[in-house]
C-alpha cells in the first residue's frame, strides 16, 4: 500500500521552521511519507531532524533575511509595514513560480504550510491538493469579536469602553489590510488572490480546511475563532546539529543563579542595546550570572564575557533551558512555550510584531512579568529573585495539560482527513468540533 504523502513548507527562520520539523518528526514516526520544502539555510536543521528536504532555489536567503529582519523596528508603522509587504510580495512571485513547476510534476496527499507562505495554498488549490495552515501565533487570526492583535499588546476586558475600543481596533486592522491590498492590488492578483477575505469574513491566506493553532486555547483571549482553527498544543523542537563545529557551550556552577537572555533569531537592531543593559545588570546583581544569546546558529561560535555577563552566538533551548533559573525574552511564540514547558519564570520585553500580544497574554495569566523598557528589568528581576507567584501560576497552568498528548492531536486531525477522503460523500464530519487544547 502506498504511503500517505505529506509536504511541509516553511521559511528558513527557526521560529517558523522548527514547529514544522516537530510535526514532521511526529508524522514520520507514524508511517507517513514526509518531505519538508524550504530553502538552503534550512537544510541542516531538516536533515538533523531526520527528515527529507526538498530545497527551494528561487529565493536568495540572504536577501530574504534582510527583508524580514531589518535594521529597525517595524511595529505598527503603516509605512514600514507596507514597504516590507511590497518586498515580501516580490519573494512570493518567485516562490509561486517555483512551486508551480514543482507541483506540475509532483503531488502529495496533504500540504501543511507555515502561515507566512500563503502562495503555497494558492498552488495547492490549483493542483487540487488539500492544504492546511501552520500557525505558531494564533492571536493574529482575525475574528469578529475579541481583542485584536498587532496594536501594541491590548488586553481583553468586559468593560463597555474597552469593548468599543476592541471593535474599533478590529475595524482598523481590517482597514489597513484592505488598504495594503488596494495599494498592491495588481501584483497580489497576479499571484492568484482576488481578495483577502472570503464571503464568511475569514482570511484567504489561511486554509479554509484546517488552521493548526500551535498553542493552548486557554492561553489566548476569548473570541469567535474560525471553524477551521484547531488548537493542537505547542510544537516545540530544536534540532541538535552534530555535523557542524559545536557552539561554545554555556557553563554552570551549583552556587550561582542563572538568567538566559534571548531575543530570538531576528531583532538584530535592538540586541546591542539590550546586551549593554544586561552588562549593567550583571554589576547590580553580582550573585547572578547572565547568558545572552544572539540566536544565530550560522555564526561562528563565540563566548564573550563581562563581569558575570556572557554573550554566546547560539544556545540550544532544549539542551540548556532547563539549567536556567529565569529567562528574559522578547515574547516569541517558541521561547514563551519553552519557558512554560520547563516552568521557568520570565521577564518579557517585546520588541515587534505579535510579541506585544504574547506579552499581554502572559501578563494576564500571571505567567510572566511584562516590562515596557529595559530600565524596568532590574525591578522585575528583583521580584523574581525574591520569589514571585509567577512560578506557581506556571505550574498550575501546566497541570491543566499534564495528561494531554500533542501527538494525538495532530495525528487525529490527519487521520480524520484521510478518512474524509475515503468516505467523502458519506456526510461524515471531517473535523471534530471541539479543539484538543
243 assigned to some structural domain? no
Residue 307 has pLDDT above 60, yes or no: yes
- Per-residue pLDDT reduced to its tens digit, 62-103: 877 777 766 666 666 677 767 777 778 878 888 999 999 999
- Per-residue pLDDT reduced to its tens digit, 173-219: 999 999 888 888 888 888 888 899 999 999 999 999 999 999 999 99
Residues 88 and 178 in one domain: yes
User: Domain of 274?
Assistant: 257-399
Residues 324 and 227 in one domain: no
Per-residue confidence (pLDDT) for residue 243, from 0 to 100: 46
At residue 125, the 3 state secondary structure works out as helix
Pairwise CA distance, residues 241 & 144, whole Å: 44
Per-residue confidence (pLDDT) for residue 431, from 0 to 100: 44
Question: Sorting pLDDT into bands at 50, 70 and 90, what band is 247?
Answer: low
Average model confidence (pLDDT) across the chain = 88
Beta pairing, strands 369-370 & 346-348 = parallel
247 assigned to some structural domain? no
Residues 36 and 174 in one domain: yes
Question: Sorting pLDDT into bands at 50, 70 and 90, what band is 304?
Answer: low
- Where residue 151 sits, what CATH number does that domain have? 3.40.50.2000
- Look up residue 154 and give its three cell numbers: 491590548
Residues 234 and 271 in one domain: no
Pairwise CA distance, residues 153 & 147, whole Å: 9
Percent of the chain with pLDDT over 70: 89
* pLDDT: which is higher, 60 or 394: 394
- Per-residue pLDDT reduced to its tens digit, 249-258: 888 988 899 9
Provide the number of structural domains found in the chain.
2
Per-residue confidence (pLDDT) for residue 428, from 0 to 100: 46
CA dihedral 311, 313, 318, 320 (to 10 degrees): -30
Residues 387 and 411 in one domain: no
Mean pLDDT of 37-52: 95
Pairwise CA distance, residues 242 & 193, whole Å: 42
Residue 28 has pLDDT above 90, yes or no: yes
Question: Sorting pLDDT into bands at 50, 70 and 90, what band is 51?
Answer: very high
- Look up residue 318 and give its three cell numbers: 532544549
Residues 410 and 395 in one domain: no
**pTM of the entire predicted model:** 0.90
Per-residue confidence (pLDDT) for residue 31, from 0 to 100: 93
> Contact, 331 vs 310, CB < 8 A?
no
Amino acid at each position: 500500500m502506498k504511503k500517505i504523502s505529506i509536504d511541509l513548507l516553511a521559511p528558513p527562520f527557526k521560529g517558523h521552521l522548527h514547529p514544522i520539523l516537530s510535526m514532521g518528526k511526529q508524522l514520520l514516526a507514524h508511517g507517513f511519507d514526509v518531505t519538508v520544502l524550504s530553502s538552503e539555510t534550512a537544510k541542516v536543521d531538516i536533515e538533523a531532524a531526520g527528515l527529507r528536504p526538498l530545497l527551494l532555489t528561487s529565493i536568495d536567503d540572504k536577501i530574504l533575511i534582510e527583508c524580514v529582519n531589518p535594521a529597525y523596528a517595524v511595529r505598527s508603522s503603516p509605512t514600514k509595514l507596507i514597504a516590507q509587504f511590497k518586498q515580501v510580495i516580490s519573494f512570493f512571485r518567485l516562490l509561486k513560480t517555483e512551486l508551480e513547476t514543482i507541483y506540475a510534476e509532483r503531488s502529495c496527499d496533504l500540504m501543511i504550510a507555515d502561515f507566512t507562505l500563503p502562495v503555497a495554498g494558492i498552488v495547492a488549490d490549483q493542483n487540487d491538493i488539500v492544504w492546511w495552515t501552520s500557525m505558531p501565533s494564533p492571536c493574529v487570526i482575525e475574528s469578529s469579536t475579541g481583542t485584536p492583535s498587532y496594536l501594541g499588546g491590548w488586553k481583553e476586558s468586559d468593560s463597555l469602553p474597552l469593548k468599543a475600543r476592541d471593535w474599533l481596533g478590529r475595524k482598523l486592522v481590517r482597514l489597513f489590510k484592505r488598504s495594503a491590498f488596494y495599494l498592491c492590488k495588481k501584483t497580489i492578483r497576479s499571484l492568484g488572490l482576488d481578495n483577502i477575505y472570503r464571503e464568511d469574513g475569514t482570511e484567504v491566506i489561511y486554509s479554509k480546511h484546517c488552521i493548526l493553532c500551535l498553542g493552548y486555547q486557554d492561553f489566548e483571549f476569548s473570541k469567535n475563532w474560525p471553524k477551521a482553527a484547531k488548537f493542537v498544543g505547542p510544537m516545540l523542537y530544536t534540532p541538535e546539529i552534530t555535523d557542524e563545529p559545536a557552539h561554545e557551550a554555556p557553563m554552570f556552577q551549583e552556587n550561582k543563579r542563572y538568567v538566559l537572555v534571548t531575543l530570538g533569531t531576528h531583532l538584530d537592531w535592538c540586541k546591542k542595546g539590550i546586551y549593554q543593559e544586561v552588562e549593567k545588570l550583571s554589576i547590580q546583581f553580582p550573585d547572578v550570572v547572565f547568558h545572552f544569546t544572539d540566536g544565530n546558529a550560522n555564526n561562528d561560535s563565540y563566548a564573550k564575557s563581562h563581569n558575570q555577563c556572557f554573550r554566546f552566538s547560539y544556545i540550544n533551548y532544549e539542551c540548556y533551558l532547563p539549567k536556567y533559573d529565569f529567562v528574559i525574552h522578547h515574547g516569541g511564540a517558541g521561547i514563551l512555550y519553552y519557558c512554560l514547558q520547563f516552568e521557568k519564570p520570565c521577564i518579557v520585553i517585546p520588541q515587534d510584531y505579535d510579541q506585544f500580544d504574547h506579552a499581554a497574554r502572559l501578563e494576564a495569566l500571571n505567567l510572566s512579568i511584562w516590562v515596557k523598557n529595559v530600565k524596568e528589568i532590574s525591578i522585575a528581576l528583583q521580584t523574581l529573585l525574591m520569589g514571585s507567584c509567577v512560578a506557581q501560576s506556571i505550574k498550575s497552568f501546566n497541570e491543566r495539560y499534564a495528561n494531554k498528548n500533542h501527538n494525538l492531536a495532530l495525528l487525529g486531525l490527519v487521520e480524520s482527513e484521510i478518512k474524509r477522503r475515503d468516505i467523502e460523500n458519506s456526510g461524515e464530519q471531517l473535523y471534530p468540533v471541539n479543539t484538543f487544547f
